[in-house]
Structure 1
Amino acid sequence: MSRTRLAWSALPAHVQGEIEDRLGSAVEHVESHEGGYSPGMAATLTTVGGERTFVKAVASSFHERSGELYRDEVRVNGVLPEGVPAPRLRWSVDDGDWVALGFDAADSSVHVPWQPDDLTAAIELFTTLAEVPAPDALGSVGGHLAGMPTWANAHAEGTDLSSWDPWVAEHLSMLAEVGADWAHAAEGTALGHGDARADNMVRTGGRLLLVDWPYATAAAPWLELLCFLPSAELEGAGSAAAIWDSHPLGQAADPDRATAVLAGLAGYFVHASVQPPPPGIPHVRAYQRAQGEVALAWLREQLGE
């Protein structure tokens, strides 16, 4: 089951008009981008004058959560430090229902399976982020993670985990204990993106950039790499554990804190994977399941299980 994004042609005339006003002329060509996990429109628009702009748009009345995230993205982009590996936000439109954002257009997307050059650039990107102090206007990652369901929620709710290896249900109390402090363990002062995956990376001018910043927070310098690795292994990068163990960020991380975060992350994916699909993005549950399998195997290795 898949998701189809909103098309440019489906946007109301007044929204198209507002966007074209920001672009400076009429849209001549639309290149839709169907990847990712949002039902909003995402397209590179080329005007009659040849100007290319990446535009995303959604109505809160169509998908309330996406509207919230787009507004958060405008706020975050307003405080990102100069030189952060992110496309420039050119403008935004918000009529109270429809929200549209215009960014510098990318040259290309990152394709999976991961290729060596792209993977090397991604790993270097996390090293760069680890050295950027988070702006004071961004909150701590601990507050964000504390609200995300994980093992303790599965235990308290009696979540049906029968689709997973029986080991999970048999060790649920232990997993909840190991991951209990994951929100606090993830805290720090470095700039964190909060949703780094291949589908949120693009290339521009030979440089790898992260897109979609609504979840940005202050976090531990190693958090982004750890959270990225389950998706990376799933998409052909090689062993998450091996990359982590060989990387300076992984080597510098406190082992107990990193294990707590990995446990919490695995629990989030496992819990999410058995929930009903969210409106508009039914394919996300299968992706969460796949990441959960990688994270859980990595966690069991860390625990000697």
Structure 2
Amino acid sequence: MKITKDIRLYVLGAGKVGMSIVQAFAQQGFKVTAIDVSEDNIKTGLDKIENNLNKLTDKGKFEKNQKEEILGRIRQSTNFEDLSDADVVIEAVFEDIDLKKKLFTQMDNCVISKEALLLTNTSSLSISAVASATKRPESVAGMHFFNPVPVMKLVEIVRGVETSDKTVEKARELAMLLNKSTIVSKDSPGFIVNRLLNALFIEACRIVEEGVGTPRDIDTGLKLGLGHPNGPFELVDNLDAIPLILHVCEHMSDELGSRFKPPVWIKNYEKAGRVGKSSKKGIYEY
């Protein structure tokens, strides 16, 4: 199978990240089908994509007819059997290993082509474990996108124990057609980027816990002292990522040691419903 923009491409999971992946591919000229068990999830996701494209059109990034062409490339389905003709499936559901393995077993049974790529957009979970749920682990790899996907330039390709060189190369070709740069990581919790980010975030939380500095001090220090575009607390608030990053850090602490264990105060923020900017309360109040 040759990787071109004419491949039969499916994104499994119509949540925030999944639909962001759909938008990125459609903007680059791919026809892409969003699959989810919920029609409401897909409708909500499509509405968000249209709103995003309207804003870009208002800013002169697209003409109105280009926006309509992009939306016209997006298809939708709630039928898992539609995956049968897939060349590439990108799974983008919540970071739950049991759910991902279940979906990859179903995917393996549905997708007919043995050359098809079965890719998971996980930020921390074992690619080898996900691949073990299939009869073709050599065709499974991680394809970790960064949010918002249409804007962020990096895709992290993750190689499981059984992932073939051919699968890695095809995943990289796919990312290049999406106008992304790639890095390749071995199968380790958090891979490269999130291992660095989460270590930074947890250390920032410890600095607050110890009274060494406030969240605002830390964010300002990272921006003006190290040249980061955002501090760690601003970043997680902007992405509504407090629940996700804590979930991932708990997993990483189990695998890599207590240095990734979140302090109690930040876990209490999540319990209080402070998830980030969309809730008006995260690390900061809005």
Q: Does the alignment reach a TM-score above 0.5?
A: no
Higher helix fraction (1 or 2): 2
**Larger RCO: 1 or 2 (CA < 8 Å, sep 6+):** 1
Structure-1-length-normalised TM-score: 0.26
Structure-2-length-normalised TM-score: 0.28
